[in-house]
Amino acid sequence: MHLTSTLWVVATPLGNLGDITDRARKVLAEADLIFAEDTRRTGKLLQALDISGKSMVSLHEHNEEKRIKKVLAHFDEGKDAALVSDAGTPLMSDPGYRVVRACREHGVRVVPVPGPSAPVTALSGCGLPPYPFTFLGFLPRKEGQMRKLFEAHGSTGATIVFFERKSRLRETLHLAYESLGNREFSICRELTKDYEEFINGNLEDWAEVSEELRGEITVVIGPPVNEGPASEEDIFNMIDAEMESGDKPKVIARRIAEKVEGWTAKAVYEKVTERKKNS
């Protein structure tokens, strides 16, 4: 066991340096080593924070598995380290999951230092229902895999959040329309930066999205648009998704009833209790 060693999982600014927390700044300044997705980019961040002389080791999606032995060897010496991605919260579609898992299995203390997160930032500003939501990270490149992913998560009735490259944005929105039907969406780009922008619309109008958009893009697709009374199957799907919250049945029932047509909170509550008995 190596509980005297700590891996700090540090969230860093998406673009606005003012979003760095005092705790994150202190951890980065005091850590014996920093594992960084891109050492050059992290080097610029440290320079902006007036932190110098830090040792860094690259840790990205292509070398994470190979780095694990080196990571654990560092902690075996009783030293601490910080893990950062290029921007935002590590592991949120960025490298780090395998290292965090290996550290916990090795007895290294893992401590998250929360802060900026693109999915949460997008949800807080786009105006679409924020919960329940499903975060898909970067979508697979193959159309068939992407379609299966949309169909699997679209049936839950939750808001869907994912990252997308600007070169594939229109193609992806088109596929989302074919897979999910017409739903509201928001293209959230350049979050926290000077040119931050939220572009809201409906999936049926995917062709109207500009191909000239620049910057980092987070996409939010809202839940199904209510078209008449919800079916019993729809209600059960929403119940299954909501029950993961751990809230009381009456709270879940009231929340679902606010989202659908043709169902009172009392009627939904009966379905919630029925589901709990059968599960």
The per-residue pLDDT for range 63-77, each reduced to its tens digit, is: 999 999 999 999 999
Q: How far apart are CA 174 and CA 157, in angstroms?
A: 19
Q: Are residues 79 and 179 in the same domain?
A: no
Structure confidence at residue 241 (pLDDT): 83
In a domain, 226, yes or no: no
CATH code assigned at 204 = 3.30.950.10
Same domain as 156, residue 66: no
Q: Select the more confidently predicted residue: 117 or 244.
A: 117
Average pLDDT over residues 183-210: 96
Q: Which amino acid is at 46?
A: L
81 and 133 in a common domain:
no
Same domain, 124 and 111: no
| 227 domain-assigned | no
Same domain, 134 and 85: no
Domain co-membership, 92 together with 25: yes
pLDDT at 243: 85
Q: Beta strand pairing status for 108-113 and 2-10? A: parallel
Give the count of domains, the chain: 3
Highest mean pLDDT out of 185-194, 208-217, 250-259: 185-194
- Domain span at residue 61 reads 2-116
98 in Cβ contact with 68 (< 8 Å): yes
> How many Cα atoms occupy the beta-carbon half-sphere of 272 within 13 Å?
25
In a domain, 96, yes or no: yes
Both tokens of 116, joined, read: 């900026």
Do residues 125 and 173 both lie within one domain? yes
